[in-house]
Chain A
Amino acid sequence: MSDPQITIYTPESLLANPRKMLGDMFRDLAAGRELAWRLTVRDISAQYRQAFLGILWAFILPLANTITWIFLSKSGIVNVASTSLPYPVYVFTGAMLWAIFMDALNAPMQQVIAARGMLAKLNFPREALIVSGIYQTLFNAVIKVALLLVAIVVMGINPGWNLILFPFGILSLVVVGTSLGLFITPLGMLYGDIGKAMPLLMQFLMYVTPVVFPMPKAGIAAKLFILNPITPLILTARDLLTGQAPQFLTYFIIVNVVMVLIFLVVWVIYRLAMPILIERMSS
């Protein structure tokens, strides 16, 4: 017989008992481990079984982005300031890293929306959805990184020993993306506006991040670039990948520490929000 585990539901906020809540959070995280893995396997195999181009989809978008920007800059339609790396390498690495960040950002809401039917009817550790989203982002990231490495070597860049640290760059993109994505999930579940506004905001964010443009030297743009917390993530990851000395290492570390703390807060909010969202979703 299983242990007599007692579950109590009352109208009190779960925050009224923070210690118990934290315990429950990590217990559910552990309990949802296998489920998260199953969901990941399910989603990935279904995704590739139904797509003719299969794994190509993991990098078609950033590749198209890269080609567009190389064309824009080569033809002189857009005048891009000179970069320390050859521009194609700069754009390609930027676009790929940005795509990984976007994957991570979109994953929580996508997962929750896709699992709506299950959420409304079954009780399972809600954390499994987040974890499954992270797994899937990482899976796609690995494909992208493999392609990136090949491309970089082909283009004559020697990554050097810093490459060992590169996984941290990817991981921090995933952690930060997931935190932000999880932050907008509760409201995004209630109001469709959020889902619609996101691509718009993200496009703007991309242009104030050194993805296709190098860091501006002065002016309001330079301020925006440096205030944007994604900037050090992209720059550091790119530096580590292409064998350059990371310029914003301290900033990078600060952003990561802050974001891990934010992640914990957002996780709490997600947990608190779930019953409320489920009630409103199906009513």
Chain B
Amino acid sequence: MSETLIKVEGVSKKFCRSLKKSLFYGVQDLGREVTGRRHGGNGELRADEFWALKDVSFELKRGECLGLIGHNGAGKTTLLRMLNGLIKPDSGRIEMRGRIGALIALGAGFNPILSGRENIYVNASVLGLTNKDIAAKIDEIIDFAEIREFIDMPVQSYSSGMQVRLGFAVASSFQPDILILDEVLAVGDFSFHAKCFKRIGSISRNSAVIFVSHDQSSVGRICDRTILIERGRCAYIGNTIDALRQYNNAYKATLSVKSTTVCHDDIVFTSILFNCGSRSITLQTSDALNLVIQLETKKSIPIGKCLVSFYSETTVNAGQADFTGQLDHLPEGFISLKLEIPRIQLAAGMYTMNIAIFHANGRDTVLHSISCTEIEVIGLSFLGSHYKIPVKVKLSNSLSRNIANIL
């Protein structure tokens, strides 16, 4: 059961920046193809062309799952389209063994006027199922999509969620040898999402899977190995955790959110110090995070709501540590607020951290620090974040520049 199903050797693809030239090159390529010459010339670029993908190589066996990560436009989809035989490589060689199933473009070929049932037949035929297969599976498909009562209604009256469910149910109804998944899991509501994962899990046991996603926790959970593609080049191939870490580093380099802190008029000085010292912190999911906010206040300020919140690339509010009630006022003078988060409990990924402390009157901001640090969480825990993160706050009156004393 461990034969190699996908073999990709030095595959490259070039694209053209200008549409006019692209069309003209299309005619040129057509001429070459028809006269039996090689596609893509001898690997040179024509004017306005660039390598959308360069020298990508990998192999995949049955039962393995390969992740494909990279920024938008890095070349992930181009690679998938070549694997699926939609476009030809300009150099290199791709060998695919067995039946290919692609969970891409769910519901492609749906006709809005026809009923769900009719569309199942069309869509399944497009995916290569025979009439006999379809007849045997139609009930299973309808039940999986949970649309039995609407199945004879025209698809144009379906909600977008229903259409996607139907598309997924059809596309995942047979067992392929090679499964290509492109961002399909970002669809549907939570309960359907869970069903999709279960279905994909059972299909993938018996096939070679290529999985493209921006969702780091899914990639981390599903994939044995991962390729990081940066600007068409294979920047890393191997261990998923390392690939994700490198991806996050690249993300960090491009991150340009400025750290800003806004204070109440009665506060004259603030600084925020972390146990790790730098503005950029790397943690394991189970690690503690300690930080100290130092302040000088002109007078005592009553405190209302207090929050530390974590934002990630994909989730607006990935986690929150609420310490409202642990602090009733800020006394006058030099003070330190020590926040202790015993376990960060965030899923692997990149986060920025915000701290907000509000006045007891509910309106005034006492302290609001935006993007006060970037946190990279690494490790094997790819399960979703705990929304509520436990936190303890300790107030002391000493102002110390020496962080070791406080932390």
Question: Which A residues fall within an 8 A CB radius of B?
Answer: 2, 4-16, 31, 34-35, 38-39, 41-43, 45-46, 49-50, 115, 117-124, 186-187, 190-191, 269, 272-273, 275-280, 283
Name which of B86, B119, B127 has the most chain A CB atoms within 10 A of its CB. B86
- Taking A120-B86, A276-B88, A280-B22 as contacts, is the C-beta distance between A42 and B104 under 8 angstroms? no
The stretch that binds A, out of B93-101, B228-236, B293-301, is B93-101
Question: Cβ of A42 and Cβ of B30 under 8 Å apart?
Answer: no
CA distance A46 to B40 in the complex (A): 41
- On chain B, the residues within 8 Å of A275 by CB distance are 85-88
- Taking A34-B130, A122-B104 as contacts, is the C-beta distance between A5 and B98 under 8 angstroms? yes
Question: Cβ of B127 and Cβ of A12 under 8 Å apart?
Answer: no
Point out the residue from A9, A13, A42, A46 that lies within 8 Å of B33, measured CB to CB: A13
Point out the residue from B37, B93, B105, B119 that lies within 8 Å of A9, measured CB to CB: B93
The stretch that binds A, out of B110-118, B254-262, B389-397, is B110-118
CA distance A34 to B122 in the complex (A): 10
Name which of A9, A34, A190, A272 has the most chain B CB atoms within 10 A of its CB. A9
CA distance A35 to B130 in the complex (A): 8
- On chain B, the residues within 8 Å of A13 by CB distance are 32-39
Instruction: Tell whether B2 is near chain A: CB-to-CB under 8 Å.
Output: no
Question: Cβ of B85 and Cβ of A123 under 8 Å apart?
Answer: yes
Question: Cβ of B95 and Cβ of A6 under 8 Å apart?
Answer: yes
Q: A9-B85, A279-B26 are in contact. List 5 more A-B contacts (CB 8 A).
A: A7-B96, A42-B122, A122-B104, A123-B102, A275-B88
Point out the residue from B3, B40, B131 that lies within 8 Å of A34, measured CB to CB: B131
Question: Cβ of A278 and Cβ of B34 under 8 Å apart?
Answer: no
- On chain B, the residues within 8 Å of A119 by CB distance are 86
Question: Cβ of B121 and Cβ of A11 under 8 Å apart?
Answer: no
Question: Cβ of B88 and Cβ of A11 under 8 Å apart?
Answer: yes
- On chain A, the residues within 8 Å of B34 by CB distance are 13, 15, 269, 272
- Taking A122-B127, A276-B30, A280-B26 as contacts, is the C-beta distance between A11 and B111 under 8 angstroms? no
Point out the residue from A4, A11, A120, A122 that lies within 8 Å of B90, measured CB to CB: A11
Q: List 27 A-B contacts (CB under 8 A).
A: A8-B94, A8-B96, A9-B88, A10-B93, A10-B94, A11-B39, A11-B92, A13-B35, A13-B39, A34-B125, A38-B125, A42-B111, A42-B114, A46-B113, A117-B105, A119-B86, A122-B102, A123-B86, A186-B30, A190-B23, A190-B27, A272-B30, A272-B33, A278-B86, A278-B87, A280-B25, A283-B16
Q: Closest approach, in angstroms, between the C-beta of A187 and any C-beta of chain B?
A: 7
Question: Cβ of B85 and Cβ of A7 under 8 Å apart?
Answer: yes
CA distance A52 to B160 in the complex (A): 28
Name which of A16, A115, A187, A279 has the most chain B CB atoms within 10 A of its CB. A279
Instruction: Tell whether B64 is near chain A: CB-to-CB under 8 Å.
Output: no
Instruction: Tell whether B268 is near chain A: CB-to-CB under 8 Å.
Output: no
Report the nearest A residue to B154, measured CB to CB. A49
- On chain A, the residues within 8 Å of B39 by CB distance are 11-13
- Taking A115-B109, A275-B88 as contacts, is the C-beta distance between A11 and B38 under 8 angstroms? yes
- On chain A, the residues within 8 Å of B51 by CB distance are none
Q: Closest approach, in angstroms, between the C-beta of A81 and any C-beta of chain B?
A: 44
- Taking A276-B26, A278-B87 as contacts, is the C-beta distance between A118 and B99 under 8 angstroms? no
Q: Closest approach, in angstroms, between the C-beta of A18 and any C-beta of chain B?
A: 9
Instruction: Tell whether B288 is near chain A: CB-to-CB under 8 Å.
Output: no
- On chain B, the residues within 8 Å of A31 by CB distance are 128
Report the nearest A residue to B17, measured CB to CB. A283
CA distance A276 to B88 in the complex (A): 7
Question: Cβ of B102 and Cβ of A279 under 8 Å apart?
Answer: no
CA distance A279 to B38 in the complex (A): 16
Instruction: Tell whether B311 is near chain A: CB-to-CB under 8 Å.
Output: no
Question: Cβ of A283 and Cβ of B22 under 8 Å apart?
Answer: yes
Instruction: Tell whether B84 is near chain A: CB-to-CB under 8 Å.
Output: yes
- On chain A, the residues within 8 Å of B23 by CB distance are 190-191, 280
Q: Closest approach, in angstroms, between the C-beta of A57 and any C-beta of chain B?
A: 15
CA distance A49 to B118 in the complex (A): 13
Instruction: Tell whether B187 is near chain A: CB-to-CB under 8 Å.
Output: no
- Taking A5-B98, A6-B97, A278-B86 as contacts, is the C-beta distance between A11 and B128 under 8 angstroms? no
Question: Cβ of B30 and Cβ of A38 under 8 Å apart?
Answer: no
Instruction: Tell whether B177 is near chain A: CB-to-CB under 8 Å.
Output: yes
CA distance A15 to B99 in the complex (A): 24
CA distance A42 to B155 in the complex (A): 13
CA distance A193 to B79 in the complex (A): 31
Report the nearest B residue to A125, measured CB to CB. B128
- On chain B, the residues within 8 Å of A121 by CB distance are 86, 102, 104-105, 108
- On chain B, the residues within 8 Å of A45 by CB distance are 114, 118
CA distance A46 to B22 in the complex (A): 35
Q: Closest approach, in angstroms, between the C-beta of B7 and any C-beta of chain A?
A: 9
- Taking A122-B102, A190-B26, A280-B22 as contacts, is the C-beta distance between A5 and B86 under 8 angstroms? no
Question: Cβ of A276 and Cβ of B40 under 8 Å apart?
Answer: no
CA distance A115 to B97 in the complex (A): 27
Point out the residue from B33, B82, B92 that lies within 8 Å of A15, measured CB to CB: B33
CA distance A170 to B258 in the complex (A): 73
